[in-house]
Chain A
Amino acid sequence: MFGVPISHVLIVSTALFFIGAYGFLTRTHLIMVLMSMELMLNSTCLNFIIFNKYLFPGTQDGLLFTLFIITIAAAEAAIAIAIILNLYRNFQSVSPEETTTLKY
Chain B
Amino acid sequence: MNAAYIALIPALPLVGFIFIGLFGKYFPAKISGRLGTLFLAVSTCLAGWEAYQYFFVSGAVGGTYQTTYPIRFSWLEFSPKLIVEIGTIIDPISVMMLLVVTLISLMVHIYSAAYMRGEKRYSTYYAFLGLFTFSMLFLVLSINIIQLYMGWELVGVSSFLLIGFYYDKPSAVAAAKKAFIITRFADMFFLIGILIVSYIGKSLDIPTLISNLSHASSFTITSPLATGFMGFSLLSWGLLMIFIGGAGKSAMFPLHVWLPDAMEGPTPVSALIHAATMVVAGVYLVARFYPIYVFSAPDVLKIIAITGAFTAIFAAIIACVQYDIKRVLAYSTISQIGYMIFALGLAGWGVNKYGFTAAMFHLFTHAIFKALLFLSAGSVIHFIHSNDMRDMGSLRKKMPLTHIVFLIACLAISGIPPFAGFYSKEMILGVAYQTNKIIFIIGIITAGLTAFYMFRLYFSIFWRDKKVQIIRGNAHGSASMTIPLMLLAFGAIGAGFIPFQKLVTFNGQPIAMESNNIVTVLAIVIAVVSIFISAFIYLNDNTIPTKAVKRLGGVYRLIYSKFYIDEIYLFITKKIIFNLVARPVAWIDKYIVDSSINLIGAVTTEISISIKTLQSGRIQGYMSWFLGALLVLVLIFMMS
Contact = CB atoms under 8 A, between A and B. Distances in A.
Interface stretch (B55-63, B142-150, B400-408, B611-619): B611-619
B615 A104 contact: yes
Interface stretch (A53-61, A70-78, A95-103): A95-103
A21 B620 CA distance: 10
Contacts of B618: 96-97, 100
B597 interface: no
A25 B616 CA distance: 15
Interface string B225-244: 00000000000000000000
A104 B620 contact: no
A100 B617 CA distance: 4
Contact of A101 (B617, B624, B627): B617
A79 B520 CA distance: 111
Contact of B612 (A96, A102, A104): A104
Nearest to B618: A100
Interface in B377-404: none
Interface residues of A, number: 13
Contacts of A97: 618, 620
Contact of A100 (B616, B624, B627): B616
B616 A96 contact: no
A25 B623 contact: yes
Interface in B605-638: 612-613, 615-620, 623-624, 627
B620 A103 contact: no
Candidate in A97, A100, A104 with the most chain B CB atoms within 10 angstroms: A104
Contacts of A96: 618-620
Contacts of B620: 24-26, 33, 96-97
Nearest to A101: B617
Nearest to B609: A104
A34 to B, nearest CB: 11
A72 B615 CA distance: 28
Contacts of B612: 104
A96 B613 CA distance: 16
B617 A102 contact: yes
Contacts of B616: 100, 103
Nearest to A21: B627
Contacts of A99: 617
A64 to B, nearest CB: 26
A96 B627 CA distance: 17
Interface in A81-104: 96-97, 99-104
A64 B613 CA distance: 42
A76 to B, nearest CB: 14
A10 to B, nearest CB: 15
Interface string A26-39: 10000001000000
Interface in B405-455: none
B624 A25 contact: yes
A24 B627 CA distance: 11
Contacts of A26: 620
A24 B617 contact: no
Contacts of B619: 33, 96
A25 B618 CA distance: 10
A91 to B, nearest CB: 12
A101 B615 CA distance: 10
B619 to A, nearest CB: 5
A67 B557 CA distance: 107
Contacts of A24: 620, 623
A100 B616 CA distance: 7
A26 B624 CA distance: 10
Contacts of B627: 21, 25
Nearest to A28: B620
B35 to A, nearest CB: 69
Contacts of A101: 617
A60 to B, nearest CB: 30
A96 to B, nearest CB: 5
Nearest to A24: B623
Interface of B: 612-613, 615-620, 623-624, 627
8 contacts: A21-B623, A24-B620, A25-B623, A25-B624, A26-B620, A100-B616, A100-B617, A103-B615
Given A25-B620, A97-B618, 17 more contacts: A21-B627, A24-B623, A25-B627, A33-B619, A33-B620, A96-B618, A96-B619, A97-B620, A100-B617, A100-B618, A101-B617, A102-B617, A103-B615, A103-B616, A103-B617, A104-B612, A104-B613
The 10 A-B residue pairs with the shortest CB-CB distance, nearest first, are A100-B617, A103-B617, A104-B612, A102-B617, A103-B615, A25-B620, A104-B615, A96-B619, A100-B618, A25-B624
